[in-house]
Amino acid sequence: MHRITIHRAPLRVAAALLAYSIALAQSTPSPPQAKGAGDQAPARFDGKWLTTVTCPAKGKTEGYKIQVPSVITDSSFHGERGTVGEPGYLLIEGKISDSGKAKLSATGKVSSRKYGTGILTTEGTDYSYNIKAQFEDTKGEGTRDAGLGIVGRACTYEFAKH
């Protein structure tokens, strides 16, 4: 027969409680912790997108429809088509708010005189304008800021998430 002395009993109870606490802690999920700068969840709109730009004809300027591969990272939009510095290049960038509203900026070089507005516009002429856009989880739409309406035209933008 094995005897437990009074002096060892509290020690065995403490050891049993410790073992039980460890087992309980391992089986209970930890509460969520605050996210650090490197642990951010992806932003709502992040991913690959395809932007379709449609510009109607205006006067003697021909209309066109092009597609621009785009990506959204940390709610920052980046779409690029063509070769930097060459005619036909287009860059669209901007920040998207949590509500999906965005003011994007477009810069580029006219690809051909037949698509450029303005009497002094030639192939390779630099241009820039703003786009007012609204994004949803997998799609969006926008319109070009027509400026004074004299040289600008009412282009539309469709955004589709892949």
pLDDT tens digits, one per residue of 15-74 = 544 444 454 445 444 444 444 444 455 689 999 999 999 999 888 888 999 999 999 999
95 occurs within a structural domain: yes
- What is the per-residue pLDDT across 71-96, written as a single tens digit (0 to 9) for each? 999 999 999 999 999 999 999 999 99
Can you say how many angstroms the Cα of residue 19 is from the centroid of all Cα atoms in its chain?
49
15 occurs within a structural domain: no
133 occurs within a structural domain: yes
- The set of residues, in sequence order, having a beta carbon less than 8 Å from that of 23 and lying 6+ positions away, is none
Q: Is pLDDT at 146 greater than 80 in this prediction?
A: no
144 occurs within a structural domain: yes
Q: Is pLDDT at 98 greater than 90 in this prediction?
A: yes
81 occurs within a structural domain: yes
Q: How confident is the model at residue 125 (pLDDT cuts 50, 70, 90)?
A: confident
26 occurs within a structural domain: no
7 occurs within a structural domain: no
Q: Is pLDDT at 135 greater than 60 in this prediction?
A: yes
Full residue range of the structural domain in which residue 157 is found: 47-161
Per the structure, how many domains does the chain have? Answer: 1
The single-letter DSSP state of residue 68 is E
The residue behind tokens 């304008």 is: 129
27: helix, coil or strand?
helix
85 occurs within a structural domain: yes
How many angstroms separate the CA atoms of 136 and 68, rounded?
A: 18
pTM attached to this predicted model: 0.71
- CATH assignment at residue 65: 2.40.128
